[in-house]
Amino acid sequence: MPHFSTINILSKKRAVPYAMSVSRFHKFLRCESGAVTVDWVVLTAAAAGMALAATAVVEDGIGSLASRLDAELRSQQVSDSFVTFQSSHFDALYDAGVITEDDAEALFRVANEMTNAEIMSGLEDGIHAMNDGTLTDEEIARLVAMGSVGVQRNIVAAEDVNLITTY
């Protein structure tokens, strides 16, 4: 006589042979219809974990490389051999007796060593000080030198620094 057990299915009790319930359970365990999904979930989790681990390993190296690259790029300047001393930019200062040509050339060389950002900042500050009437003759000469370099580098328009021709 087969052995029967009681299984609760939707609140209705009915007798199901025990052997039949065990075989369904074994059938469920042997079924491979969801195995591919499980495999993909495991592989995706592994790939995400590897990506996070790889990021953690190279993060310091990338940060260091970015810092070195930033420092190197900031220390380099594009060749500006086309920028040459133009004595005529200082004519108004020569005429006023403020500066000699040798001094003007020395100021130009100093200005030509400056970065574009330094020149722009210096011109802005100098023009504000000139409008306030607080510039000395020496500061005006430095401002003219920065303006001369800025115009030749094409980072400032000549009409924006008209002090090159007037004093």
Domain residue spans of the chain: 1-31, 32-76, 87-164
DSSP of 98-112: S--HHHHHHHHHHHH
- Separation CA 156–CA 166 (nearest Å): 17
- Per the model's pLDDT, the better-predicted residue between 90 and 161 turns out to be 90
- Separation CA 125–CA 160 (nearest Å): 14
Q: What is the mean pLDDT of the chain?
A: 81
- Separation CA 60–CA 155 (nearest Å): 36
DSSP of 29-65: HH--TTHHHHHHHHHHHHHHHHHHHHHHHHHHHHHHH
pLDDT for the residue 105: 94
The distance of Cα 94 from the centroid of its chain, to the nearest Å, equals 45
pLDDT digits (tens, 9 = 90+) for 39-89: 889 999 999 999 999 988 888 888 888 888 888 877 776 666 788 898 888
- Separation CA 54–CA 60 (nearest Å): 11
Residue whose token pair is 């000549």 = 158
Confidence of residue 159 (pLDDT cuts 50, 70, 90): confident
Compute the average pLDDT of residues 123-141: 90
- Per the DSSP assignment, residues forming a β-bridge with 9 are 12
- Separation CA 14–CA 164 (nearest Å): 105
pTM: 0.52
pLDDT for the residue 118: 92
Radius of gyration over every alpha carbon of the chain, rounded to an integer in angstroms:
40
Q: 137 near 98, Cβ under 8 Å?
A: yes
